[in-house]
Structure 1
Amino acid sequence: MDIHRCRFVKYAAQSINALAFSHTSCPKEKTPTDVRLAVGRQNGDVEIWNPANGLWVQETILKGRTESTIEHLEWSRDLIVEENAGGSKISHGSQRLFSSSGSKQLLEWDICSGSAKRQVEGNSGDIWCFAAQPQLEHPRDTKDLESGTYSPLLAAGCSNGTVVLFSTEDDDLKYLRPLLAPPAKKPKVLSIAWRDRNTIIAGYEDSTIRVIEVSTRKIIRNMSLGKGADGNDPVVWAVKCLPNGTIVSGDSSGQLKIWNAKNFTLLQTLKSHSADILDLAVNANGDRIFSLGADQRTFSYHHSGSKQLGWVEEYHRRYHRHDVKCAATFESRELSVLVSGGEDCRPIVLPIRKVHSELHRNLSHLPQRSLISASPSSRLFMSWWDNGIMIYQVNKPRNPGEQNFDFDGPTPSSYETLAQLVIQGDENIQDAQMSADGQFIVAATINSVRLFQLRKTQATGRPCLRTRQVELPPAIVRSGARRTGFSPDGKWLYTIRKDNTIALNKVVLSREPKDGPTIHEKTVKLYRVSRKQPISSLGTYPQTITHVAFSSDSRVLAVGDLSGAIDTWVLEGHEDVDYVEAASDNSDNSSDSSSDDDEEEDESPVIHAQKWIRNPSGSQLPQLDSSLLALSFRPSDHPSISNPVDGNRGLHATRHTAHPVAHELPSSNIRLVAITATHQLTEFDVLASRLSDWSRRNPSEYLPHAFTRIKDRVVGCFWDCTDPETHGERLWLYGSSWLLMLDVSQDLQEQNSNPTSTDVSLTKPKVASLGGYEVLDPVESKSPAVTNSHAHKKRKRNTGAGDAIPEYHRPSGMCSTIRKFKNDRADVDMVDMDGADVAEEQDTDMFDDENGDDSLALMRREENTQMQLSTQPPDTNGDSQASKPRPTHWCTFAYRAILGVGVIGPPPTDPADLETRKRGPVEVVIVERDVYDVPKGSRFAGQEWDTHLPGKAPWETRQIPDVDT
C-alpha cells in the first residue's frame, strides 16, 4: 500500500471556551447511561461526548454559525410533580442545553435535530455569563408544591452590570425580568453561580462579589477583594459555591479566596497562580477545589480538616500548553473526573478520586469523524470545515529510474490545490462528500443542500478545476441535512434530514457533454422501523443516524445510529433510463410531509424501473452494544447487474402489467462490517439478517489486543482487496494516532497445526508490532488447562481518565496498597486503598479479562482446519504450501493527529478485466494535523517553558513494505 502523508491541509482547530456535564454528580450511584459532556468551541460548534466506561466517544457536533462563538454552556432539566392517590410522584423531563456567545442572545439547542431550537434577547447588553437554578432533587422539597412542571430559572450577567432572569417554563425560553439594577459605574458581570434556589453569587469587574436574594431582588452583601499587588482592582473571573454554602472566588491577580457561608467574611487567601485564575471547579463532596488559569497550570486544594490550616495546596501540574479557560467535574460510582480545556484545543481528563494512582488523559483536538473525502478515479481529495471546502490533486510519484528523470531540475510538487468553495450564508457545513468518480461534490448545512459539478481544465500549464452548481429541487434544498453523500456508482444522492428521514434522489447525466446533469423529480423517502428503546432524558437523541454505507454495487443501503441499531434497504429491478413511467408511478413523493414508520414500501416511487424496498429477509439486524463508529460493506468483485444490456431482460408488457418492473434482488453475498464504540467488530450477512460465517468464527474476544485496548476510538475505515488471492481481504481501521490492518479473509487466531493433539502448549499469538518488536498477550498465551481451571479476576476499571500508574512510578508515600497479614504465616493480602468502598460494587464491563474461548467458534475452526489439512496439496519437500502464513493483523502508531484518510487509487477495475485482476497497490492520503501545528494566540508574558519543536515537512510520500515480507 502506498501512503501519501500530508500536513499541508490547514485545518483550523478551535479553542475550547466552555464545558458542561448534563447531570450533577452522584458519587454513591451508578453512572447514568444518558450522561453527556458538552464542549463549546470558538467557532460556535458544540460537541457532545459520551464518557461511558471511560471511553470518551465524540458522538455528534452541533454546528454553529459563521462568526459566532460559544462562551458558556449550561444543561437544565424540568421537574414534574404529579398528585395521585398514593401521594406525589416526581419525575424529570428531558435534558435541555443552553449557550451564550458573548452577544445579547441566549440560545437553546435541539440535540435531537442538531440545530438551534430558539433564542431570546436579554435587553440589557451582552450576556457574559449565565447559570441554571439548582433542581428540586428530594421529595421533601415538593411537599408544598402543586401538580405541575417546575422548570429552573436562568440567571445571566450582562455587560452593563445587570443581572436578568430567563424562564424555561412550558418547554420555552422567555425573558422574565431584570433581577438587579446595575451599580453606578455599571461594571460587567463576569461570573455568576447559584448558592441555593434563592441566592445568587455574582462576580464583577470592579473587584466586588455581590450576594443577591432572588425573592426580594436585593443585595444581601457586597464582598470586596481589595487592591491587588500591582495597585489595580482585580477582576473576579470565577465564583463557585461548595455544598455547605462556602463561596470560592478566583480573580485576575491569581488569588483563590475562600468566603464564609454565614457572614460572608474572608476566611483564607491562597496565592498559587502567577496569572489570572480563569475558572474554578469543585468535587461532589466539597472537600477539593480546582483552579485553572492563564499560567497553564491546574491546582488542586483540599481541606486539611483543621480550622487553623484550612485549605492547603495538594498538587499542581501543567497539563495544557496554553491558557486554561474552563473546567467541569462529574463523579459517580464508576466515574470521577475533571475535564479542562483552553486555547490548545484539547480536552484533558484528570482523575479526582484516584488522583495519585491514575494518569491523566488527552483527548483528541480533531473531530471523531473524518473530514476527508477522496476520488480513486481522478486522484482528487477534499477537506472541509466551517463553511469552506478545499480540493486537492495528488500527483503520481515519479520514478527516479525513468529515462527522462532530471536529477538537477526543480523538484515537482507532489500535490496541487485546485479549487476552494465557500458556502454562502451564515451556516457552517454539516457534511460534504465527493463522488467516487470525482465529478460531483455535495455539501449540506442544517437548512440547505448544494450540489456542484467539477470539470478538470488547464490554466497557464497547471491543472485547475471549474465548478458549476447543479440545481436541486426546492424540497431538497430547504430540508437541509446532517449527513449527505453519493452511492459508489454516483447515481444516487442521499441526504439524512434533521428528523432522521433518509431521502434518495437519482442523478441523471445528460447524453450531451455540454449539458449539465439533472436531478430526477421524484424523491425516495425511507423510514426506519420503530424499535423499543429504553427511556432516556435525551429524548430521541440516541436514534440520531450517524453513519451511512452503500454496497459496492450501490444496490444495498445501510444506516446506523447512536443506539447501535442498523436498518437496511435494497434496490430491486434493473435500471432502464428509457422506462416509461405509469400514471400510478407518478405519485408525488417529493413533498416534505412526514410519514409514519409503518409506511408501506409500495409507496416508494419507481425510478428508471427500479425501486427501493426494505430488506426482504423479514427480520432486523440485531442491535449492537453501543454507538457505531464505522459502517462499511465488504467490497465485491462481482460486476454490477444494474446496467443490463438488454433493458428489462425479457420482461414484456401484458394486459395487466402495462409497465413491467423486474423484482430481481442483489446477490446474496452482501456482508456489512460494523465497529462500535467499545471496539467490537461485527460482520452481518445482510440479506440473510444474521451474522456472517467469519463473524461467527471470530467473536470479539479474538480481536487483536492493540485494537481492543487502545484508548483512541476508531475514526474511519477503508478496504484493500486489490489482490485477495495473495494478500487477502484487508480491512484498515484508523484512529487519531494509529493505523490497524485486519485480514478478514482468514481467522484472526491460528490454532495448532494438529487440532486433535492433546498437547496444551500453544503458540503465543502476536497481538501488536511496535518498532520491530512483537508484543504478546500473556493472558491468551496460557494453556487451555490453566485457563479453564482458574477463572480470571476482574480487571479494575479506571475512574474515567488514564490508566493506573505503576507502583514504582508513584511518588513516595503514595502507594495505593497496603499489606494485611492474616496470621503468623507468610499469607498476606494486598488491600487497595484507592476507592476501596466502590471496588466491590463495580460491575463487569467490556474490559474485564474473561475467558475468551468460544467453544462453538473453536469447533467450527477445528472443522475448517481439518478440511484444509485434508485438501491442501503438499509441495516437493512434503510440507504444506502455506509454510509461511499471512499475518492476520498489523498495527502502527507512527501517525499523529489523523484528520482523515482518503483512498485515491487505484481506479476501479473494468468489469471486463475482472479475470486478470491486475491492479496496482492501493494509494491513500493520510492527512495529519498535529496539535503543535495549531496556531495559538499570545501567551502570558514571562512563561516560555515550551521547547521549540523542529519544523516538519508539509508533505511526505512513502511506501509501506508489504506485511507479508
Structure 2
Amino acid sequence: MDIHRCRFVDYTPHTITATAFSHSSSLTRPTTNDLRLAVGRSNGDIEIWNPKYNWTHELTFPGSRGRSIEGLCWSVSDEVGESPRLFSVGGSTYITEWDFHTLKPITNYDCNAGIIWSIAINSDGNKLAVGCDDGSVVIVDISGGFGSLEHDMICQRQDARILSIKWHENDLLVGGCADGRIRTWSAIGDTKGRIISTMRVDKSKTESTLVWSITILPKKRQIVSGDSTGSVKFWDLDHFALLQSFKVHEADILSLVNDINEEKIFSAGVDRKIHQFNLITSKNSSKWVHSFNRLLHSNDIRSMSIFESIGHNFLISGGVERSIVIQSIQQFHDGNYKKLLINQQKSNVIINETNNLIILWQDQEIKIWKLIPGSKHKLISKLKLSEDDNIVNVDINEQGNLLIVSSLNYVKVFILDSITKENKLNVSKIRDDSFTSLISGAKLVKFFSLTKFLILTYDEQIFTFTINIEDQTIQLDDEIELISSKTSSIGKLQYINVINNLIISPDGSKVVISRFNGSIEVYSLINQESSIITKLSSYPHIVKFSNNDKIVVLTDENKLYEFFINQQQSSNGLLTSWSKRNSEFLPQQFLTLDDKAQGIFIKEDRVWIYGSAWLAYFDLSINIPISKQYKNTSQTKKRNRDGLTINEETSSSTPTIDGNIDIVEENTDALELSLKQSQIDRLRQQIIQTDEEADVSTDKKPFWLTTKYRPIMKVDNFGLNEIIIVERPQFALPTTAAFNLPKLKI
C-alpha cells in the first residue's frame, strides 16, 4: 500500500470570537440531552457542537464576507417542548435569530442604534440587551416566541461605546465602557432606562482604559470587571464601591466567567493565560484570592464559557489560536485538557482520483491542485466568487470536467476545460437563468453520474438535475419525495429531524440519508421507491456505501455496523454476518479514541476510518479475535473518564434498532444489537471457544490503527494500491504576533 502524504493544502481555521452554552448551569439536575455549545468565528460562521462522546460538530450556520460574530446568547424557555433559541450580533446594528432547521436567519432585527458590541439575556430569558458604539443600551423583548423580536426601550445614552453588558436578574443592567467606567442602568420601575451609578477603574498613563468584560455574582451581591490594564476588580453591587483589585494579567482582559456557586472566577485575555480566583470565606468575612493560572493558548483568548451539572463541568475557551480548548473547572490547576483545532467533521476537501486533483474550499474561494507524477503538485486554478456568502459545499464529477458550488443563496455550475501550457485550468460558468430562478441555495450538492447531480436544499427538499454541456443548460429531472420523519420526543432541539448525512450508491441508483433522530432511509433514483432501513437510538455520525447493496454506519459512540439496504436481500436480517459477529466486540483501542471520527472510505474489503490524529481500518472479510490483544474479552469502560466529554452509561452497550430481527440465541454468528449484557457475555465466551477451535491462520489483519499522521484533514482512495492523506501541521498555520510572555530560564 502506497501512502501519499500531502501538506500543501493551505486551509486555515478562523479565529474564535464568541462562545455560549445553550443551557444554564445547575448542580441539582443532570446534563440535558439538548445541551449544545455555539462557537462564533471571525468569518461569520456559527458552529454547533454536541459535548457527547468527544464533542461532535453537528451544524454550521454559514456566514458571509466581513460579518464576524462578536456575541452569542441562547434563550431557553421553561415550557415543555420549547427548543432553545440562538441569537448573534457582530459588526452591524442587527440582532440575528437563527433557524436550526434551515440554517438561515429567521429574523434580522435592526436596533436603530449604533453598531452592536455586546449582547446579554436576562434570567427569565424573555429580554435581550445590547450595548452599542454610540453609548446606548437597547432592550429587546423576545417573549413572543421564535422569530419574535420587539422593541422595548433604549436606555439613557452616554458618550462611550459599551464593550460588555450583563443583566443582574431582570432589574439591573451593568455595562463596561470604553472610557474606563462601569455604568449601571435600571430596567424596572420609575427609573427604568436611567443610569443609576458609575464606577471608574484605574486609568492608564499612555492610553484610554477599556472595560472589556463584566460578570455579575447575584448571590454574593458583587460585580467583577476586567479591563485593558490587566486588572480584575470586585465591586459591591449594592453600594457600587470597590471591594478588591488584582493586577495579575500583563495585558487586556477580554473575558470573565464564574461558576454557579460564585466561588470561582476565571479571567483571560491578550496575555494568553487563564487565571483562577477563589473565594475564601471565614466566620465574619470573605475575600477573593488569586489561586492558579494556566498557559494553554498560543495567542489571545477572546471568549470563555462555563457549564456545570451533576457529574459534569466544562470550561471552554477560544480565541486567535483558532482552537476550542476544553478543561475541567474542578481540576483547572493540573487537570487534563482537550484541544479541538483542525477537526474536520464537516470536510471541505475533495479528492478526484481519476485526474489526481485535490480541491479545497473556504469562505468565497476554491483552490484546485493537480498532483503530477514525481511527487510534485501544482495549483492549477483558484476561483474567487464575487458573492459575499461563504461557500457551503462543493462537488466535482468523476471525469473532473464539471464543478458545482453551493452557498446559502446560490448554486453555480462550472465547466473545467483542459489545462493550458502554463499549467492553468480554464474555468467557465454555465449561465442558465431558469436554473438560477428555480434553486436559490443548497446545503449539499453531489454528482451521481458524469452529468447528473443532486441538490439538498435548506428546506430539506432533494432535486435531481442533468447538465447539457453543449447547450450550456441545466435541466430539472425529478424531486425525491422524502418520508415524513417526525418525533414525539419532548425538549428536543429544532433540528432533531434534520438530515445529517446523504450518500449516493456507487452505481448512482440509490440515495441513503440519515437524520439526527437516528433514522436511516433509502430512496431509489430510478423508480422513486423509498423505505426506512432502521432507526438507531444513537444517531449515525457517518454513513458510507460499502457496495451497491450495503452501507457502513459509524455512530456517535464509535460503534461500527454494516447493514443491508433491503432486508429481503438477507434471510438473517438487517445486519451483515460480519456486523452480527463483530460490531459488539470492536477493539477498545478504537472505542476509546479521544478524537472524533471525521470520515470513512471503502477500499476492497477494508473500511478505512480517520480522525484528526489517527487512521484505522477494519477488514470486513475477517472476524476480529476475541482476545486480550484487542481488550474485548470483557466489558470495559467505553471512554476514559477525564471529565472532558459527556458519556452515557446504559444497560446495553449498543444502540437499539427498531424492527424485529430473528435471532437464535444459541447461534454465535448472530447477535442482535439490543441484547442484554448477560447474553453478550455468554456469546463472547462461545465465540472465544469457537475461534480457538478454528485457529485459522491468515496474513490479513482484521484491525489496524496508527497515530503517525496528524493533524489529518482528509484521507481517500488514490489508486489501486494507494491512498492519500491530507495533513495540515499546526506550525504551518499563519498567525498574528502573540503577547510576548517573559521566559524563565532555569
TM-score by length of 1: 0.70
Match of 1:892 in 2: 706
Match of 1:330 in 2: 307
Contact 1:22–1:75 at 8 Å: present in 2 too? Answer: yes
**Could you report, residue by residue, the CA deviation over 1:615-670 in whole angstroms, capped at 9, with x for unpaired residues?**
4xxxx32222333332111136xxxxxxxxxxxxxxxxxxxxxxxxxxxxxxxxx1
C-alpha displacement of 1:239: 0.6
C-alpha displacement of 1:749: 1.9
Match of 1:29 in 2: 29
Match of 1:439 in 2: 401
Question: Deviation above 6 Å: which 4+ runs of structure 1?
Answer: 791-796, 841-845, 847-852, 860-866
Q: Within 5 Å, give how 1:468-487 maps onto structure 2.
A: 468-469=429-430, 471=432, 473-474=434-435, 477-487=438-448
Contact 2:363–2:391 at 8 Å: present in 1 too? Answer: yes
Q: Within 5 Å, give how 1:937-952 maps onto structure 2.
A: 937-940=736-739, 942-943=740-741
Are 1:764 and 2:628 an aligned pair?
A: yes
Change in 2 beyond 3 A, CA 1:842/1:283: farther
Match of 2:496 among 542, 545, 550: 542
Tell me the SS of whatever aligns to 2:281.
coil
C-alpha displacement of 1:221: 1.6
**Could you report, residue by residue, the CA deviation over 1:551-577 in whole angstroms, capped at 9, with x for unpaired residues?**
222222101122222110124xxxxxx
Match of 1:522 in 2: 477
Match of 2:663 in 1: none
Report the Cα distance in structure 2 between the residues aligned to 1:46 and 1:222, rounded to whole angstroms.
Answer: 35
C-alpha displacement of 1:50: 0.4
Report the Cα distance in structure 2 between the residues aligned to 1:946 and 1:64, rounded to whole angstroms.
Answer: 42
Match of 1:227 among 191, 203, 215: 203
C-alpha displacement of 1:525: 2.5
Match of 2:726 in 1: 927
Tell me the SS of whatever aligns to 1:52.
coil
Contact 2:312–2:646 at 8 Å: present in 1 too? Answer: no
C-alpha displacement of 1:433: 1.2
In structure 2, give the amino acid aligned to 1:532: T
C-alpha displacement of 1:52: 2.4
Match of 1:799 among 638, 643, 650: 643
C-alpha displacement of 1:178: 4.3
Match of 2:580 in 1: 697
Match of 1:916 in 2: none
Contact 2:592–2:638 at 8 Å: present in 1 too? Answer: no
C-alpha displacement of 1:801: 5.2
C-alpha displacement of 1:549: 1.3
Change in 2 beyond 3 A, CA 1:894/1:517: farther
Match of 2:515 in 1: 561
Are 1:384 and 2:361 an aligned pair?
A: yes
C-alpha displacement of 1:303: 0.7
C-alpha displacement of 1:931: 2.8
Tell me the SS of whatever aligns to 1:737.
coil
C-alpha displacement of 1:614: 1.0
Tell me the SS of whatever aligns to 1:210.
strand
In structure 2, give the amino acid aligned to 1:563: N
Contact 1:505–1:524 at 8 Å: present in 2 too? Answer: no
**Could you report, residue by residue, the CA deviation over 1:919-945 in whole angstroms, capped at 9, with x for unpaired residues?**
x31342x222233322222333x4365
Match of 1:720 among 581, 595, 603: 603
C-alpha displacement of 1:846: 5.5
C-alpha displacement of 1:78: 4.2
C-alpha displacement of 1:516: 4.8
C-alpha displacement of 1:684: 0.6
Unpaired runs of at least 5, structure 2: 656-675
Contact 1:389–1:421 at 8 Å: present in 2 too? Answer: yes
In structure 2, give the amino acid aligned to 1:56: W
Report the Cα distance in structure 2 between the residues aligned to 1:739 and 1:206, rounded to whole angstroms.
Answer: 53
Contact 1:302–1:313 at 8 Å: present in 2 too? Answer: yes
Report the Cα distance in structure 2 between the residues aligned to 1:857 and 1:529, rounded to whole angstroms.
Answer: 39
Are 1:197 and 2:170 an aligned pair?
A: yes
C-alpha displacement of 1:504: 2.0
Give the fraction of aligned pairs with identical amino acids, expressed as a percent. Answer: 29
Match of 2:670 in 1: none
In structure 2, give the amino acid aligned to 1:748: I
Structure index of larger Rg: 1
Change in 2 beyond 3 A, CA 1:381/1:793: closer
Contact 2:141–2:152 at 8 Å: present in 1 too? Answer: no
Change in 2 beyond 3 A, CA 1:464/1:357: closer
Match of 2:7 in 1: 7
Report the Cα distance in structure 2 between the residues aligned to 1:472 and 1:379, rounded to whole angstroms.
Answer: 33
Tell me the SS of whatever aligns to 2:590.
helix
Which of 1 and 2 has higher RCO (CA within 8 Å, sep 6+)? 1
Report the Cα distance in structure 2 between the residues aligned to 1:243 and 1:547, rounded to whole angstroms.
Answer: 44
Report the Cα distance in structure 2 between the residues aligned to 1:890 and 1:794, rounded to whole angstroms.
Answer: 19
Report the Cα distance in structure 2 between the residues aligned to 1:793 and 1:449, rounded to whole angstroms.
Answer: 46
Contact 2:173–2:184 at 8 Å: present in 1 too? Answer: yes
Contact 2:51–2:645 at 8 Å: present in 1 too? Answer: no
Match of 1:674 among 549, 553, 556: 553
C-alpha displacement of 1:312: 1.1
Match of 1:961 in 2: none
Q: Within 5 Å, give how 1:158-169 maps onto structure 2.
A: 158-169=132-143
Structure 1, 520-529 or 18-27: larger mean CA deviation: 520-529
Report the Cα distance in structure 2 between the residues aligned to 1:369 and 1:308, rounded to whole angstroms.
Answer: 52
**Could you report, residue by residue, the CA deviation over 1:647-702 in whole angstroms, capped at 9, with x for unpaired residues?**
xxxxxxxxxxxxxxxxxxxxxxx110011111111111111174333344334432
Tell me the SS of whatever aligns to 1:611.
coil
Match of 1:69 in 2: 68
Contact 1:26–1:331 at 8 Å: present in 2 too? Answer: yes
Q: Within 5 Å, give how 1:302-321 maps onto structure 2.
A: 302-306=278-282, 310-321=287-298
Report the Cα distance in structure 1 between the residues aligned to 2:444 and 2:501, rounded to whole angstroms.
Answer: 8
In structure 1, give the amino acid aligned to 2:393: D
Q: Within 5 Å, give how 1:594-673 maps onto structure 2.
A: 610-615=526-531, 620-635=532-547, 670-673=549-552
Contact 1:740–1:890 at 8 Å: present in 2 too? Answer: yes
**Could you report, residue by residue, the CA deviation over 1:183-220 in whole angstroms, capped at 9, with x for unpaired residues?**
2xx11111110011011111111111112111222222
Unpaired runs of at least 5, structure 1: 80-89, 136-150, 398-412, 510-514, 572-609, 637-669, 722-728, 751-762, 768-776, 782-786, 804-840, 870-879, 907-919, 948-965
Contact 1:505–1:522 at 8 Å: present in 2 too? Answer: yes
Change in 2 beyond 3 A, CA 1:931/1:538: same
Change in 2 beyond 3 A, CA 1:232/1:379: closer
Contact 1:344–1:931 at 8 Å: present in 2 too? Answer: no
Report the Cα distance in structure 2 between the residues aligned to 1:614 and 1:192, rounded to whole angstroms.
Answer: 52
